[in-house]
Amino acid sequence: MSNSPIESAKETAEKKDGPGLDFIRTRIAEDNASGKYQGRVHTRFPPEPNGYLHLGHAKSICLNFGVAGEHAGGKCNLRFDDTNPVKEDTEYVESIMEDVKWLGFDWEDRMFYASDYFDRLYELAIQLIKEGKAYVDSLSAEEIRQYRGTLTEPGKESPYRNRSVEENLDLFQRMKNGEFDDGAHVLRAKIDMAASNVVMRDPTLYRIRKAHHHRTGDKWCIYPMYDYTHCISDSTEGITHSICTLEFENNRELYDWTLETLGLYRPQQIEFARLNLTYTVLSKRKLIQLVQEGHVRGWDDPRMPTLSGVRRRGFPPEALREFCSRIGVAKADSMVDYALMEFCVREKLNAETPRLMGVVEPIKLVITNYPEGQYDEFEMPMHPEDESHGTRTMRFGRELWIENDDFREEAPKKYFRLTPGQEVRLRYAYYVTCTGVVKDAEGNIKEVHCTYDPESKGGSTADGRKVKGTIHWVSACDAVPAEVRLYEPLFVKENPNQVEEGKTFLDYLNPESEKVVTAYLEPRLAEFEAGTRVQFERLGYFCVDKDSKPGKPVFNRTATLRDSWARVERNQK
């Protein structure tokens, strides 16, 4: 993280171009070479529909769909891991589908739900019971926790562990039939209460949950646990490589045990380090809290690290894919600099967005020697280096809006913008020389005055006279007022997950993460539809927000032209 984003981007780009594949791709190549899966590559992206996808999920999506796409005949499934009825919702299912598509990936006809397998999972549980590999336990949740032991002490066997197969079958059936209350019994695998891997100490396979499920309705009142469901779902779908994040490393033993005990086809689980980003939280629980407590405008608030949030903010999907490719995959946890992602966003937007003029903090400029009621028209390119963007025409008149920051009554040395006595170029239009200001009774500057040189039309003069500064402008007669939302990082702490005593991550929210201003835009900017990305010359990249109405545009700042993160850190000091 000490590296600048540009440096680390270069480094990863070099790594990518080099001979080495990452450890997951190496593993898959080896399996292909050995014929382990007959050369098949079949992955899956398995979100739980209990929240919106975030940038961490983008890493997993790019990896799973990416790896599949790199092999002839490779496939990647989308599977909703919907085993927890109380937290899940169809709203989340729909948003996840939209986000995966937006990122540029296609599951074709392979969209599944773990709940599709509930019948099969139930049958397989019966098989385990019959083989003496599972039993119904009637300890309370608290007792089960106590009996489990610790990392250093072995667990204790439940007094119910040696129930007969008949009794287990009977109880499990009655659990299914709804005869018991939540928590009265669970079904557990019978493995080893002294196993050094705590996961293997008779893990729970099923619990009673009298809850409505978003797909199976009220059919079930027992629900299978994640570990039991996941491996069987992978196996059922013929997955070859089950790629997941590091926290599942200890669960791999159970994954393998379940499939081997049931005599089922076994995919290979491979773990990689999850994405952590500076100034960001990437946990659904925390993101849900931000939304539910109203700290942001919603799941798609442009400050949110959700895919719907960064989409609304204006991040192009290509930039996210590029980011994921640059960070690569590793086996050790690390923190990625948010600035690297912005770097990828800028790189993409710089090449592809049209450049227009908007004034975000306006101050009036009056050209005293320009006739009243007269206008010039200038045809200007929409992108200085790319003619394919075409041109637009802008009117120039006696009164303009310029950026407040482009004028100083008393300027420091090397200030090349507007200050009394200094000449600057108004982008694509004329040279103007500042002659003074008009103030109100309180001494606030109301207008900046200047004169223009009619010979400098188009932005240059016959005498070849140079000016050091060029500033942008919008003519007052045509300017469209717009709501512009200026975004800064949502958190002021580099790692908001690391909280000091007595605080929560919410204590590190940036109170200035959103600043709403009224800007003046050139008229063409009011014509773009929601989602369009543009550059406001000299200011940054902006995206038309869905709150825009005809004649009342709303823009979100996607990114400044340069790294703004250094500034955040400076402000903190």
Tell me which residues are annotated as active site: 48, 274, 284
Residue with tokens 């990828």: 344
Q: How far is the CB of 363 from ligand ATP (least distance, A)?
A: 44
Q: How far is the CB of 198 from ligand ATP (least distance, A)?
A: 20
Applying CB under 6 A, the span of 9-17, 57-65, 232-240, 519-527 interacting with ligand ATP comes to: 57-65
Instruction: State the pairing for strand pair 358-359/391-396.
Output: unpaired
Q: Judge whether 277 is annotated as a binding position.
A: no
| C-alpha–C-alpha distance, residues 317 and 104, integer Å | 7
Distance CA(116)–CA(122), nearest Å, equals 12
* Distance (Å, whole) CA 535 – CA 559: 10
Which residue is associated with the tokens 């709150």? 547
Residue number with CB closer to ligand ATP (100 or 222): 100
Least CB distance to ligand ATP at residue 341 (A): 13
List 187, 244, 296, 380, residue binding ligand ATP (CB under 6 A): 244
| 284 annotated among ligand-binding-site residues | yes
* 274 part of the interface to ligand ATP, by CB under 6 A: yes
Q: Is 284 in the site for ligand ATP (CB under 6 A)?
A: yes
Q: From the CB of 284, what's the least distance to ligand ATP, in Å? A: 3
| Given 125, 282, 418, 482, the residue binding ligand ATP (CB under 6 A) | 282
- Quick check: 433 binds ligand ATP (CB under 6 A)? no
Count of residues that bind ligand ATP according to CB under 6 A? 14
60 touches ligand ATP by CB under 6 A: yes
245 annotated to a ligand binding site: yes
Measured from the CB atom, the residue of 110 and 408 that comes closer to ligand ATP is 110
Interface with ligand ATP includes 275 (CB under 6 A)? yes
d(CA 409, CA 445): 9
Q: What is the nearest approach in angstroms of ligand ATP to the Cβ of residue 274?
A: 3
Q: How far is CA 8 from CA 15, 163, 276, 336, in A?
A: 10, 59, 16, 10
Query: Of 130-138, 204-212, 279-287, 431-439, which part binds ligand ATP (CB under 6 A)?
Result: 279-287
Binding positions for ligand ATP, 163-222, rule CB under 6 A: none
Q: For ligand ATP, give the closer residue by CB, 327 or 363.
A: 327
The amino acid that residue 324 corresponds to is: C
Task: List the structure tokens of 217.
Answer: 């309705």
Q: Which is nearer to ligand ATP, 134 or 275 (CB)?
A: 275
User: Residue 283, interface with ligand ATP (CB under 6 A)?
Assistant: yes
Cα–Cα distance between 119 and 134 in angstroms, integer? Answer: 17
Paired tokens of 390 = 């075409």
Residue whose CB is less far from ligand ATP, 248 or 541:
248
309 binds ligand ATP (CB under 6 A): no
Interaction residues for ligand ATP, span 461-520 (CB under 6 A): none
SS3 349: helix
Cite the beta strand spans of 68-201 per DSSP E: 75-80, 111-113, 134-137, 186-189
Distance in Å, CB of 244 to ligand ATP, minimum? 5
Determine if residue 254 is labeled as part of a ligand binding site: no
DSSP structure string for 227-249 = HHHHHHHHHHTT-SEEEEEGGGG
d(CA 405, CA 399): 18
Q: Which is nearer to ligand ATP, 57 or 392 (CB)?
A: 57
- On whether the CB atoms of residues 206 and 222 are closer than 8 A, the answer is yes
State the binding string over 30-49 for ligand ATP (x if CB under 6 A, else -).
----------------xxx-
20 contacts: CB under 8 Å, gap ≥ 6: 26
> In which region does residue 459 sit, left (phi positive, over 0), alpha (psi from -120 to 50) or beta (all else)?
left
- Shortest spacing between CB 96 and ligand ATP, in angstroms: 8
Distance separating alpha carbons of residues 37 and 57, to the nearest angstrom: 26
In terms of CB distance, is 146 or 334 closer to ligand ATP? Answer: 334
**5 within 8 A of 326, measured Cβ to Cβ:** no
Taking residue 528's Cβ as centre, other Cβ atoms within 10 Å add up to 18
326 binds ligand ATP (CB under 6 A): no
* 192: Cβ contacts below 8 Å, ≥ 6 apart: 200, 201, 202
The residue ranges that bind ligand ATP (CB under 6 A) are: 46-48, 56-57, 59-60, 244-245, 274-275, 282-284
Binding-site sequence positions for L-glutamine: 81, 226
Residue numbers belonging to the annotated binding site for ATP: 48-50, 54-60, 245, 274-275, 282-284
